Structure 1
Amino acid sequence: MKKYFLYLFLLYSTIAICQSKIYYLEGTLGKSTIFMTVQVYKSDNETSLNATYFYKNSLKDIKLEGKLNDSNNFTFYFKPGDNITEKFYLKKSGNNFDGFWYDSKDKQLAVHLEPVNFDNYKSNLKIRFDDERLNLVKYKFLKFKKQKTTLYNNKEFVWYSEKHCDSDFFRLENNFSEKNKTLINPILEKIHIENTLAQLNCASSFEYSQGKGIEGNTTINFLNNDLLGFQVSMFWDCGGAHPDFGSSGYLIDLNYGKQYGIDDILAFDKSVTGDSENNFDAFSKYRNNYFASKLLEIITSIEQFKKPDNDDDCDYTNAEYWKFAAWNYTEKGIEFTPSFYRAARNCEESFLVPFERLKKYKNPKFPYELK
């Protein structure tokens, strides 16, 4: 995993060095408002070009291949198979792009694009990478609508969907205190926004997005007066070579709004750290030397894992697969799911460890009992 993060660092560093220019544009295609990101890369006397755009009324990305005819003339096209279904011919003049869009039947519409004025889209939403800056635009146009109400432990949760895509999530409703709702609902809304933007950005070069490239399922698994636990499971197919899936566990303090990671809850050694962003070396060392081995020992005592005779069978005795196990805080204990390499992802099964088996490993800083 450490090598994986190092690879990502080097990848983004290389892109930053080679990258010549990114344009964030807004304007019109015929009578429609569109937004476009144009990326120009130069390396070893070669230039590559791609673009992504979306309509204001749909917010779903359309990925385009590109060709730079000269320094100011750009050609973009969407080619899901052998046929080009749409194309842009744009000329750059100053900071603006003007030209025409054509469909597969050569219908022509005028295009005018100019730099996005991000002052019109200011928000508190944090964007991690520069090439996702147009998320600020999408965020402004998101529309959530109440869909249903459910009960869990006699508490009411209201579920919302988003107008432009297949994305739903919950908020706290009746039987929760006003303090709980005021503190926690903005956190839940932020998670919903992040999941929605991921869905809208899930685009393929092979077909137009229907806003369903990421199939999500959220389950509430724990609730008492202090803590809310739930799991978000996702399967995504955004046009890459292989679809993928995964899950994330959440545990939120209803009194203070803190989101606990698994290292905030359990400590198999005093060197425990959940601060992977600011101190990844210490985090990785703890996971390598203590977390994986102790977690495997505990689960093996319950499940009686044996090393398989066949290399093709799932080997749950390998501590490597438990270093970054997914987790899910439930009423009966914590479920752990080992993380396998891609070809063995079907081995990713969840195993429950009752709270009683974990109590002596509770992180001293975690303010609640494991029960």
Structure 2
Amino acid sequence: MRGGWMMAALVVAAPAMAQAPAQDTPRSYTGTVGANPIVLTLESEDSAPDARGARDVWGSYFYAAHRLDIRLQGKRRGDTITLDAMPTDDHLVLRRAGPRLVGTLTTAAHRRFAVSLSPITQARAVPAASPADLSLHEKLQLAGLTLAPDGDAVIDGRPIRWLRERRSGVRLFRLNGGYAPGVVRTINAALDQQQWRNVHATLGCTGGDGKPGVEGAVAGQPWFGRDYVSYAWHADWSCAGAAHPDFMTEGHSFDARTGRELTLDAVLPVGSAAPPAPESDAWYGYRSDTFGPAVVRMLRRYHPAQMRPQRATDAADDAPDCDYTDPDVWSFPAWRLTPDGLWLGASFARVARVCDNPEWAVLPWSALPARAAAP
């Protein structure tokens, strides 16, 4: 399933550490590498050591100056922990000194710095709109970060302001009027949450070169209609240790009369019965067996030429044709409302990902249920 936000995809894309079935509770520390403040979090096996008396240890750390997560993996033997940093080739040797950790960090350039760390159990000044399910390490990563104004604009006659988080570079708009005050507050609150989720995902993905591994931005121009507000977010990422780079587009659409964010099942219900509860087994079956085939039928009606098998314009010579008649590629699409109707983004297997998200795949307003009023 694609869409729903790149956070879920990035969690899968981030390199998974070899974890045993039983493991210790993560422990977070704050302190310094040389003069540079860092936060480090470790987990380890809660099982018998191997033949050399060692247990696997994994985790991550970040420098307070840039907040990008650096993945760690290593061994613990007694009170000594040795760790290697995946994207930077840093090497840490730490030993327990009561509740503290002390030791050294050696860089890939063989520079050596003293490390001194103390336990931390609480994060302060975490953005109120940040995701609710963050770990302590992730809360510490966002602690103290703020959004700064990054320009005003008027689009479709509606005033907006762009806000940027400096370390991640994540930029998203807010409504500055143009709709009822309560609607503006509701939509802006949702945009707050979406921006901080993007910040969190971006800071959690360090590229193989030690720099940010995510590039994300609003795709095209947001739409501010009479009854609907929508935008699409596109992200490309390549996280150190992940199997391969990836990308995705995610749409968000809001009812400008209430401010609530819409769901695809509400905008395009298929069949006489209400769609099953999201994420249930019945819902997955509905999307695959009912929704996907219905979308194919509608797209064939409104876009017959594009629905014929075709080669993507930028595909490699050995790439497969784009078969938009396959219901599976429409079962869990990206989507957003536009001035022309409902745009749906097909989702192909990786070998045919160049076929994803064709711009032409728009169902006109006349094809949508009567309760979805035209703009």
TM range, smaller chain = 0.7 to 0.9
Q: Could you list the per-position Cα deviations for residues 306-350 of structure 1 after superposition, in whole angstroms to 9, with x for gaps in the alignment?
A: 357999211111111111111121011011121110110011123
> Aligned equivalents of 1:256 and 1:358: distance in 2?
19
What corresponds to 1:229 in structure 2? 230
Residues 121 and 136 of structure 1 are in contact (CA less than 8 Å); yes or no, is this contact kept in structure 2?
A: no
SS of corresponding position for 2:199: helix
Residues 51 and 76 of structure 1 are in contact (CA less than 8 Å); yes or no, is this contact kept in structure 2?
A: no
5+ residue gaps, structure 2, are: 3-7, 312-317
Cα RMSD over matched residues?
3.0
| AA matched with 2:130 | L
Residues 68 and 204 of structure 2 are in contact (CA less than 8 Å); yes or no, is this contact kept in structure 1?
A: yes
> Aligned equivalents of 2:227 and 2:289: distance in 1?
32
Q: 1:174 to 1:120 in 2, by over 3 A?
A: closer
Q: Name the one with the larger helix percent.
A: 1
| AA matched with 1:319 | P
The yes-or-no answer on 1:62 pairing with 2:62 is no
Structure 1, 338-347 or 181-190: larger mean CA deviation:
181-190
> Aligned equivalents of 1:370 and 1:43: distance in 2?
61
> Aligned equivalents of 1:42 and 1:207: distance in 2?
32
Q: Could you list the per-position Cα deviations for residues 157-185 of structure 1 after superposition, in whole angstroms to 9, with x for gaps in the alignment?
A: 11111111221111111444433333322
Following superposition, the deviation at residue 251 of structure 1 comes to 1.2
SS of corresponding position for 2:270: coil
What corresponds to 1:76 in structure 2? 83
Match of residue 270, structure 2, among 268, 271, 284: 268
Residues 327 and 335 of structure 1 are in contact (CA less than 8 Å); yes or no, is this contact kept in structure 2?
A: yes
SS of corresponding position for 2:71: strand
Equivalent pairs, count: 347
The yes-or-no answer on 1:335 pairing with 2:343 is yes
SS of corresponding position for 1:148: strand
Q: Could you list the per-position Cα deviations for residues 235-265 of structure 1 after superposition, in whole angstroms to 9, with x for gaps in the alignment?
A: 1122323211111111123443321110021
Q: 1:112 to 1:271 in 2, by over 3 A?
A: farther
Residues 91 and 107 of structure 2 are in contact (CA less than 8 Å); yes or no, is this contact kept in structure 1?
A: yes
Residues 131 and 193 of structure 2 are in contact (CA less than 8 Å); yes or no, is this contact kept in structure 1?
A: no
Residues 39 and 50 of structure 1 are in contact (CA less than 8 Å); yes or no, is this contact kept in structure 2?
A: yes
What corresponds to 2:244 in structure 1? 242
What corresponds to 2:105 in structure 1? 101
SS of corresponding position for 1:63: strand
Identity %: 22
SS of corresponding position for 1:17: coil
| AA matched with 1:96 | R
Match runs of 1:150-299 below 5 Å:
150-204=153-207, 206-209=208-211, 211=212, 213-239=214-240, 240-273=242-275, 275-277=277-279, 280-299=280-299
The yes-or-no answer on 1:51 pairing with 2:59 is yes
What corresponds to 2:363 in structure 1? 353
SS of corresponding position for 2:143: helix
SS of corresponding position for 1:141: coil
